[in-house]
Amino acid sequence: MMKDAKLRKPGRPKVSEGSLNRRKSFGTVCVSLDLSLIEILRRLRRDVGEPSLSGVVRRLLRERLAELGLLGEEVKRALGVS
């Protein structure tokens, strides 16, 4: 048992090249919102079973952008928006 522990290196596991390429396609945006909007997002997160507020915001944004016609057809089909 101790022998196995000595062989492992501490820290995070190595990141695969595939996951690095996926990460490069993401950016970060910080938004300040009224507390009432944050509470609405929290309720929506619970209702739809989304694990994070970020996921709820991404979902809402994609749906609205699709409605406005700003997303490609492939993304619209994936979202189920026509």
Which pairs with CB-CB distance under 8 Å and at least 24 residues apart come from 7-10?
Answer: none
Terminal CA-to-CA distance of the chain, rounded, Å? 57
Q: Domain coordinates of the chain in residue numbers?
A: 32-82
- The alpha carbon of residue 33 and the mean position of all alpha carbons in its chain are separated, in whole angstroms, by 18
DSSP 51: S
Residue whose C-alpha is closest to residue 56's, from 82, 77, 32, 64: 64
Tell me the pLDDT tens digit for each residue of 26-44: 788 889 999 999 999 999 9
pTM exceeds cut of 0.85: no
- Give the model's pLDDT for residue 66: 84
